[in-house]
């Protein structure tokens, strides 16, 4: 099965009323924030050892599990944009194992591009939010989010696409809310903190449209910039900035974000 068909099988949020969803999410998220901080710890990759952990997770998900990329000698998945990126991981405290990773690609030198600019620029049809409209040192891209299968043991977390953050389709009972893939949400929040704290104002991402709709469940409202194209499966360009992110985040999940922001911000200060 090709990438497109695999991603098309990724489940999404079912049709539920906004009021009911908001009530359930906010109630559950307050408990989730406490649970998250007890068992999980967001970390910035402040050294090469932590970067290598991210490369290993990416290889596990993108090469071994999903076969989006070929198996690499040495078990690390890397590309040309890693040198202009900062990385975040989430560690499972009881085992000291890393559960997932994400990177924030930025422009560090003249002539550098974001992945979306190099490979998918023609897919951006929204001229108002086109990266060419903004200062080069104020744009960035969230990419290579991956969550290891070892931390998706529950039946509801084992569907196709959960490795890259998608949310299972359901009507969201209290039981299902406890099965929500919060590691992926935590990684997006870590990426948001890295962008905001480093002065990056315009954030881009190529993602599967169903994942973008899933993110709305917690109030992360990416703005579509164009129609889906075939790029590692069916993906579309999206945009978000700190104002959109912070103003739309649902109240319950703001509590989780603040906890993650506190950890990430302290660690960013150690980066040179």
* CATH for 35: 3.40.630.30
Full residue range of the structural domain in which residue 46 is found: 3-265
Helix locations, the chain, DSSP H: 3-8, 18-39, 48-58, 115-119, 174-178, 182-197, 209-215, 242-248, 251-268
| Residue 27 token pair | 């109630």
The answer to whether residue 141 is domain-embedded is: yes
Q: Is 272 domain-assigned?
A: no
Alpha-carbon distance of 227 to 237, in angstroms, equals 8
Q: Supply φ then ψ for residue 106, to 5 degrees.
A: -130, 170
Pseudo-torsion of CA 203, 187, 170, 231, nearest 10°?
A: 50
- Give 154-201 pLDDT, tens digit per residue: 444 443 444 444 444 443 344 333 434 678 889 999 999 999 999 999
pLDDT at 13: 30
**What is the reported pLDDT for 215?**
84
Q: Does residue 270 belong to any structural domain of this protein?
A: no
**Residue in this structure with the two tokens 């660690």, named with its chain if needed:** 267
Torsion, CA 144, CA 88, CA 10, CA 69, rounded to 10: 30
Q: Look at residue 47 in the predicted model and tell me its pLDDT.
A: 95
Q: Has residue 240 been placed in a domain?
A: yes
State residue 117's pLDDT score.
Answer: 97
Based on the structure, what is the number of domains in the chain? 1
| Spans of the chain below 50 pLDDT | 1-21, 154-180
Domain presence at residue 250: yes
Helix (H, G, I), strand (E, B) or coil at 105: strand
């Amino acid at each position: 099965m090709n990438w497109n068909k695999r991603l098309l099988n990724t489940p999404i949020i079912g049709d539920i009323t906004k009021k009911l969803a908001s009530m359930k999410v906010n109630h559950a998220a307050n408990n989730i924030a406490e649970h998250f901080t007890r068992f999980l710890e967001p970390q910035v990759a402040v050294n090469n050892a932590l970067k290598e952990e991210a490369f290993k997770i990416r290889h596990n998900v993108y090469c071994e599990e999903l076969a989006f990329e070929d198996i690499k000698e040495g078990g690390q998945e890397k590309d040309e944009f890693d040198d202009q990126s900062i990385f975040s991981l989430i560690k499972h405290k009881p085992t000291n194992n890393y559960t997932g990773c994400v990177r924030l690609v930025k422009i560090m030198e003249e002539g550098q591009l974001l992945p979306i600019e190099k490979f998918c620029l023609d897919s951006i049809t929204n001229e108002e939010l086109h990266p060419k409209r903004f200062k080069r040192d104020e744009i960035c891209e969230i990419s290579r989010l991956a969550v290891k299968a070892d931390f998706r043991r529950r039946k509801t977390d084992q569907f196709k696409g959960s490795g890259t953050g998608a949310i299972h389709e359901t009507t969201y009972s209290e039981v299902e809310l406890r099965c929500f893939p919060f590691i992926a949400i935590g990684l997006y929040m870590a990426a948001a903190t890295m962008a905001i704290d480093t002065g990056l104002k315009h954030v881009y991402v190529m993602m599967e449209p169903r994942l973008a709709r899933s993110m709305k469940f917690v109030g992360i409202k990416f703005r579509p910039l164009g129609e889906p194209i075939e790029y590692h499966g069916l993906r579309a360009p999206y945009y978000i900035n700190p104002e959109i992110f912070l103003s739309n985040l649902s109240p319950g999940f703001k509590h989780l974000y603040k906890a993650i922001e506190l950890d990430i911000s302290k660690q960013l200060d150690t980066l040179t």
